Structure formats: C-alpha cells, structure tokens
Amino acid sequence: MKKKKAWTTLAHECVDEYNDTIHSSTKYAPSYLMFGKKPTISPLQDDEQLTLEEDRRIGFQNSNKSFQTNKNRVDKNRREHNFRTGDKVYIENGNRMNRNKLHSVRKGPFTIVRQISNSFYEVACGKKKKSFNYFHSSKLVPFTSHEVTSGGEV
C-alpha cells in the first residue's frame, strides 16, 4: 500500500519536476538557467559542455526568438484603430463564454470622452452625465454611420 502524501508535498514535487523539464522557448530547464541545477529527467546537451553563463545567453536568445515568433503570429490578425475624443464606438458585450445565445455582441454606440493612454479610453456609456467607464482599445469597435442601432445594443 502506498503512503499518502500531503497535497502541499505533491505540489512542491510537481513544481520541481516542471522546473527540471526543458522549456520549449529557452530550450533549457528553468532550474538550470536560474540556479545551475542539472535536470534529473533528461540530460542537457552532452555533445557540447558549455558554461552556465553561455547557456544563459543562448537561453535568452532562444526566448527572444520565441517571443518574436508569437508576437508576429498574434499581430498578424490585429487591427490598429486610432480613436480620438468624440469618436463613436461600440463596446464588446462581456465574455463570449458567459453571454447568452441571444444577447447582443456589442453595445452602443457611445462617445469617447478622452484617451487615457495609447490603448485605454474613457467612454461615456451611461445614462447619467458623469457615467464613464474605461476600456482597452481591443474592446472597442468603430461606429460607422450606415449601421442602424436598436436601443443601444447591436
């Protein structure tokens, strides 16, 4: 019969195993790059015995290359909108997973009150004069005048 372990012990063992596993972006185990601890699961590249500093440099380059690849993949479908104060926009209506089948996809149109940063905007989206909310540009869709609105929702 196996001896039962506390979940905290199991969690620590899982984290240790994860940190000893070679990461896909750096091509090295995190525990090796951070602490110089050789992984017990799989051997490092035994054909070349490089120094820890050299391995860290290579891991950093691999990580940057992986980051750039992922960034290019994500940015391929990204549309850049340059919203200005006074522009009319629609706002995404919550998370798709939590939205009912018949709920509208977007609300609006509403007016942008001001730009807070490169990607955040203050939008007048309430019935009261001082009812403002802040939205990331990815949640905003430009309003075009030929679209018909029905009760503030699209």
pLDDT tens-digit readout, 30-41: 999 999 988 665
Task: Say whether both 49 and 103 belong to one domain.
Answer: no
For residue range 48-92, list pLDDT tens digits in order: 567 999 999 999 999 999 999 999 998 888 777 889 999 999 998
Edge to edge, the sheet with strand 132-136 lists 132-136, 120-124, 106-115, 88-92, 140-142
Helix (H) or strand (E) holding 123: strand 120-124
Structural domain containing residue 47 = 7-75
Closest CA to 138 of 89, 100, 84, 72: 89
Structure tokens at 133: 């909310």
Task: Say whether both 55 and 103 belong to one domain.
Answer: no
Task: Say whether both 96 and 65 belong to one domain.
Answer: no
Unique residue bearing structure tokens 């001001």: 114
Reply yes or no: is the peptide bond before residue 39 cis, omega within 30 of 0. Answer: no
Q: pTM for this one?
A: 0.56
Residue at 23 is within a domain? yes
State CA 143 to chain mean position distance: 26
Task: Say whether both 57 and 100 belong to one domain.
Answer: no
Task: Say whether both 18 and 70 belong to one domain.
Answer: yes
Task: Please state, in angstroms and as integers, the Cα–Cα distance from residue 46 to each residue in 27, 36, 119, 131, following that order.
Answer: 14, 15, 47, 63
